[in-house]
C-alpha cells in the first residue's frame, strides 16, 4: 500500500485579548484562517444584551485579567484607556506580568484627540509604552517619535481598509459641482472648525461650480446637551443664511450613512489642531474622496492627501488651506484604493500580527 502523505493541520489559534476586539481597525487586521482568535469584547455593566458597545473596556480591569488569564495567550491594547489613571494602568501591567501574558500595544495616538491637555495621555503612554513587550504604530513618523521619547522600537504596519471591500470597488456617485465637506461631529477638543470654515467659504466663493457643506451633530445645537455650543452654531447658521455654505444638523451617522456622505464629497477637510492618525482619512481613501489634512500629525504618511498648516501652537495657515482646496479642484478625481490592494494589505497585516504574536510566545 502506498504511503499516505501526512495530513496538513490548520495552524493552532493564538488567543488574543484585544482591547477592543470589535473596532473596525482590529477586525480588519485579521483574515479568515489566520490562526488568531480574538476574544469577544465583554459587555460593560449596564449595556443591554443586544448591544455591541465595547466601551469602557472590561478587559482593562486587573480582576478580569486574573479571572480570565487562562483564556488568552496575548493581551493587545489599542484604544479605550482614556479614563484609566497611571496607577490603574500600572496595576494592569503588573497583573499581566504576574500571569505571564505578553503585552502588545498599537500606538494609534501620540496625542489623544479627545483631550485638550496632552498631560493625561502622556502619563498613560509613560506607563504602557515602556511596559509593552511589543509596539506597533501606523507611520514612520510616529515610530520615530516613539524611539526619541521612550527609546523603544515600534513595528510600522499600515492602517487597514475601513470601508468593506465590496464598497471599495463600487462606483462613485456623479454630481456636477465640486463639493467640499467639513464634518464638525460633536466639536471634539482637537477641532477648530470656524477658522477653517471661514477660509473654505471665501475660497469656494471664487469658484463658479463649488459648494461647501458643513455637517454637525444635533447635540451641538441642543441647549440641553453638554455638547451645546451656541457660538459655533450661530456663526454657521449666519454663513448658511448668506448662502456661503449648506449646514446639515443631524444625529450620528451609521456606517451606511457615513459612507454615502463621504462618497458625495470631492474633498473632505479635517479641521484638526492636533492628532496623530486618522481612520476618517482611510475611509476617504477607500471611497475615492480627497482629503485636506493638517500638518500637525502624520496623516500625510498614512495615505495620499493634501496638507495645510494647522497646529495648536501656530494656529491656521490660511493660504496653505486655500492652496490645498484649489489643488483638489484642479486635480480631480482623487487617488483611490483598489479592492485588490486593500485585500492584499489586509492579508499581509493578518500574517504580520500572527508572526508577531508567535515570536512573543516562543
pLDDT tens digits for range 324-340:
999 999 999 999 999 99
Cα–Cα distance for residue pair 125/108, rounded to 1 Å: 11
At 53, the pLDDT band (50, 70, 90 cuts) reads: low
Largest CA distance in the chain: 88
Decide: 164 and 147 in contact? Cβ < 8 Å. Answer: no
Q: How far is the CA of 82 from the CAs of 111, 123, 132, 265, 355, in angstroms? A: 11, 11, 17, 32, 29
Cα–Cα distance for residue pair 218/152, rounded to 1 Å: 43
Decide: 117 and 57 in contact? Cβ < 8 Å. Answer: no
Q: How far is the CA of 26 from the CAs of 225, 260, 279, in angstroms? A: 32, 23, 12
Is 70 exceeded by the pLDDT of residue 1?
no
Give the mean pLDDT of the chain. Answer: 94
pLDDT tens-digit profile of 265-299?
999 999 999 999 999 999 999 999 999 999 999 99
pLDDT tens-digit profile of 54-65?
668 999 999 999
Burial class of residue 77 in the structure, from the number of CB atoms within 10 Å of its CB (0-12 exposed, 13-18 middle, 19+ buried): buried
Q: Tell me what pLDDT residue 304 has.
A: 96
Q: Tell me what pLDDT residue 10 has.
A: 45
Q: Tell me what pLDDT residue 52 has.
A: 58
Give the 3-state secondary structure of 23-75. Answer: CHHHHCCCCCCCCEEECCCCCCCCCCCCCCCCCCCHHHCHHHHHHHHHHCCEE
Which cell goes with 206? 471664487
CA 21 to chain CA centroid, nearest Å:
14
Is 90 exceeded by the pLDDT of residue 224?
yes
Cα–Cα distance for residue pair 274/113, rounded to 1 Å: 7
Is 70 exceeded by the pLDDT of residue 47?
no
Please give the DSSP secondary-structure letter assigned to residue 272.
B
| CA contacts within 13 A on the Cβ side of 165 | 13
Decide: 157 and 134 in contact? Cβ < 8 Å. Answer: no
Average confidence (pLDDT) over 61-87: 97
Amino acid at each position: 500500500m502506498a504511503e499516505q502523505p501526512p495530513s496538513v493541520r490548520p495552524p493552532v489559534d493564538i488567543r488574543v485579548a484585544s482591547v477592543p476586539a470589535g473596532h473596525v481597525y482590529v477586525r480588519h487586521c485579521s483574515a479568515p484562517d489566520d490562526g488568531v482568535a480574538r476574544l469577544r469584547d465583554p459587555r460593560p455593566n449596564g449595556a443591554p444584551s443586544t448591544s455591541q458597545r465595547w466601551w469602557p473596556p472590561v478587559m482593562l480591569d486587573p480582576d478580569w485579567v486574573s479571572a480570565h488569564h487562562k483564556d488568552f495567550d496575548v493581551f493587545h491594547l489599542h484604544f479605550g484607556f482614556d479614563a484609566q489613571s497611571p496607577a490603574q494602568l500600572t496595576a494592569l501591567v503588573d497583573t499581566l506580568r504576574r500571569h505571564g501574558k505578553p503585552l502588545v500595544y498599537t500606538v494609534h495616538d501620540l496625542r489623544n484627540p479627545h483631550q485638550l491637555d496632552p498631560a493625561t495621555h502622556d502619563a498613560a503612554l509613560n506607563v504602557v509604552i515602556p511596559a509593552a513587550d511589543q509596539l506597533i504604530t501606523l507611520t514612520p513618523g510616529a515610530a520615530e517619535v516613539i524611539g526619541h521619547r521612550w527609546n523603544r522600537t515600534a513595528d510600522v504596519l499600515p492602517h487597514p481598509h475601513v470601508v468593506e471591500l465590496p464598497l471599495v470597488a463600487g462606483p462613485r456617485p456623479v454630481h456636477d459641482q465640486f463639493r467640499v465637506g467639513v464634518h464638525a461631529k460633536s466639536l471634539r477638543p482637537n477641532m477648530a472648525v470656524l477658522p477653517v470654515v471661514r477660509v473654505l467659504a471665501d475660497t469656494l466663493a471664487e469658484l463658479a461650480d463649488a459648494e461647501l457643506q458643513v455637517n454637525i451633530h444635533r447635540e451641538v445645537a441642543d441647549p440641553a446637551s453638554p455638547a451645546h455650543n451656541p457660538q459655533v452654531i450661530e456663526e454657521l447658521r449666519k454663513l448658511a443664511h448668506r448662502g456661503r455654505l449648506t449646514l446639515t444638523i443631524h444625529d450620528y451617522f451609521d456606517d451606511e450613512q457615513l459612507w454615502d456622505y463621504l462618497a458625495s464629497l470631492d474633498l473632505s477637510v479635517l479641521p484638526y489642531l492636533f492628532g496623530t492618525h486618522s481612520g476618517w482619512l482611510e475611509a476617504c481613501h477607500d471611497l475615492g474622496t480627497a482629503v485636506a489634512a493638517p500638518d500637525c500629525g502624520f496623516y500625510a504618511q498614512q495615505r495620499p492627501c493634501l496638507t495645510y498648516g494647522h497646529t495648536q501652537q501656530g494656529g491656521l495657515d490660511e493660504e496653505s488651506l486655500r492652496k490645498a482646496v484649489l489643488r483638489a479642484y484642479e486635480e480631480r478625481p482623487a487617488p483611490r484604493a483598489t479592492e485588490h490592494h486593500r485585500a492584499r494589505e489586509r492579508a499581509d497585516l493578518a500574517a504580520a500580527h500572527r508572526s508577531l504574536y508567535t515570536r512573543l510566545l516562543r
